[in-house]
Structures are given as C-alpha cells and as structure tokens.
Structure 1
C-alpha cells in the first residue's frame, strides 16, 4: 500500500511539472506584453509641436522622445522657456535643409548649453533617417556640441544618417518649409552664408500635448 502511495505521489509530481512546463513555454504564448512592445517602439508617444512663422505660416511636427530622449527633452525645455520666439531660419539651402534657432533678425547669436549627440557615430542608437521633413540638431565638429540650433530637411539626405541627432518629423506644413527653402539668400560673411534676404522669423514654437 505504501509503495502504491509513493508511486501515485511521484506520478502526480511528474504531471504537475509537465503542466507547468506547458504553461510557461508553448509556441502560441506571446513573448512580449503589449506594453513592452509599445515601450520598445521608438516612434510611440510622440510630442506634438507647432512652429508659427511671423507671416502666419504653420509647421506642425512630432518629436520622438523614445528615439532621442535627451535631444527632445532639451528642445521641449527651450520651447517652454520661449527661447525660439523671435529667432529666424538663418541658413537656408534649397534642396537640402533650413536651419534656425540660433540668431535673431539682427543676426545676434543666442546660445544654450550643449548636450550629448544622440546619433550612431557617437555611440547612440538612432535609426531615424534624414528624409524630407525630418527635424535634426545642428552641431559643430564636436559630436557633443549641439545645443539649440536645429534644421528641417527639405529633401532626403542619407549621408547625414548616423552623424546628426534626428529627433522628429513634420506632419503638416511642408508647403511652409518649401517656401522658406525657396526664398532668396545671400552670403554676408564667411560664417554667415545662405542667409535669407527677407528674414524668416519664428513667431513662436509651442508644445501641443
């Protein structure tokens, strides 16, 4: 009788182990929860902004904090501080990009502290390609010299991929970007080239969510 009880107990234990194994490793079981999948998506939960030009033009864009967290945080902080209000797109190259966020209409420079460059050649995984409408941070030769100046791609420019911190994309208002890109420019000095003859003034940038 005792032998039979031991046999039944062993059999029950074996069946329990098989049942637990079946619950933990079946091929139909999901490997990630929806929350984990969403968190891994670099384009999830974007921050929406509006760039209002002094002439009434509107550029709407979304920023990707999961893709370039420090870059987006820095940009949003500057926006909330009103840093960009009254500044201009001071460097405009048709077929390439429009750059702004560092000078006012009198070409007086405005600066802010630099941040870590969030792009591949600087040891940071950033897969956003520099296609038409993408926002990215301008910088000097130092990979960690980006601070407040940004640019918006007028056309695709894949050679910038992995070398600059792309962090968002225009969702509405590429016609405004086109108009800025096509404006007449002049070279004022060695350091101030491709400057619009008619100032392209940013009235304000606001966070919409």
Structure 2
C-alpha cells in the first residue's frame, strides 16, 4: 500500500527540470554546455532558472563578467540581452528579471570547477536570474552563495568564454552569448 501511495504522489507532483543545455556562440566560445540542476539542493532557484529558460528569457543574453581562473557570469535578462534595442554591455549585470528575488538556499555543496551558482548583491536574499559557472574551485564562496547545478558536458566551451578585463572581469567589445537555453528533463 505504501508503494502504491508513493507512486501516486510521484504521478501527482509536477515534473521538475533536471538540466539546461546552453548553446554558446561568440569570439571565444562556440558550442553547447550541459548542466545538471540540483532541484534537491536549491528547489526555488532551480524552478526560477527553469521557468526563465522555458520562456526564452535567457536566449540572447551575454556573459558580461568573466574573470580568468574564477568564473563566467551571465543571466541578466533585463539588461544583458544583446538583441534588445537598448543593449549596452556596460549595463549588463545590473538587472534581473520580472520575477521576485529569491531567499538564499545555502547548502554544504562546495564550489568546485564546473559548479553553477546564483549571483546576488550583498543581500543574501537577492538572487534573481543571474548565475555563474566556476572555472576553478572557489571554497571561499561555500555557504555564502546558492549552488544550483554542475556542468556535466562542455567545460571546454566554458573555458573558451571570452575573458573580461581588469579585476572585475567586465567584458568589453563583443561578449560571448547564450544563443539558446533549453530545459532538459
């Protein structure tokens, strides 16, 4: 009886996204990055990312902050869409989405190479749409930023993303872009 009840509960629950496929193109990277999303670690963040991706909000959004040996950041659907009429790379990274900011979902998952985390302001409860992919381990981020996933294929594409300049890693000129982001199940 318990097994039957569990099976019905599974059928009644909504299907959750298990991953993303990100088609990247640009001066640096060209190819597909595959990410497994951790809906058991950060369910609210994964739900928000999956919804934005399903709506096509991430399509055309640039990697606006890329720091060698650290991470590549993207996901500003408000100011980071290179196809938008008013796109200006200098504004990319200052926005989010129309959805509300999320409460932190910190975990004991460590920020290793290929881990995907949510970007935020100084307020731990300010993550919205922006995320970053780690080039190298960053244990100083552990327990301070929400981990949402892990790159499972395409780290060579991540490694090729056009680097930014200076300490902040702001990309100048033509940044690499997430041409298409697809939710996988």
Structure 2 CA distance, aligned partners of 1:101 and 1:60? 16
Structure 2 CA distance, aligned partners of 1:67 and 1:196? 34
In the alignment, is residue 62 of structure 1 matched against residue 36 of structure 2?
A: yes
Partner of 2:10: none
After TM superposition, give the deviation of residue 128 of structure 1 in Å. 1.3
- Give 1 or 2 for the bigger CA radius of gyration: 1
Q: What TM-score do the two structures reach when normalised by structure 2?
A: 0.77
Structure 1 CA distance, aligned partners of 2:19 and 2:61? 20
In the alignment, is residue 111 of structure 1 matched against residue 96 of structure 2?
A: yes
Runs (4 or more) in structure 1 with deviation over 3 Å come to none
Identify the structure with bigger relative contact order (alpha carbons < 8 Å, sequence gap 6+): 2
| Unmatched tracts of structure 1, length 5 or more | 1-34, 36-44, 120-125
Equivalent of residue 201 in structure 1, options 177, 182, 185: 177
Q: How many residue pairs end up in the alignment? A: 156
Q: What TM-score do the two structures reach when normalised by structure 1?
A: 0.68
Structure 2 CA distance, aligned partners of 1:47 and 1:166? 14
Equivalent of residue 161 in structure 1, options 142, 149, 152: 142
After TM superposition, give the deviation of residue 49 of structure 1 in Å. 1.3
Q: Report Cα offsets for 1:152-178 as digits up to 9, x if no partner.
A: 000001010000000100000000010
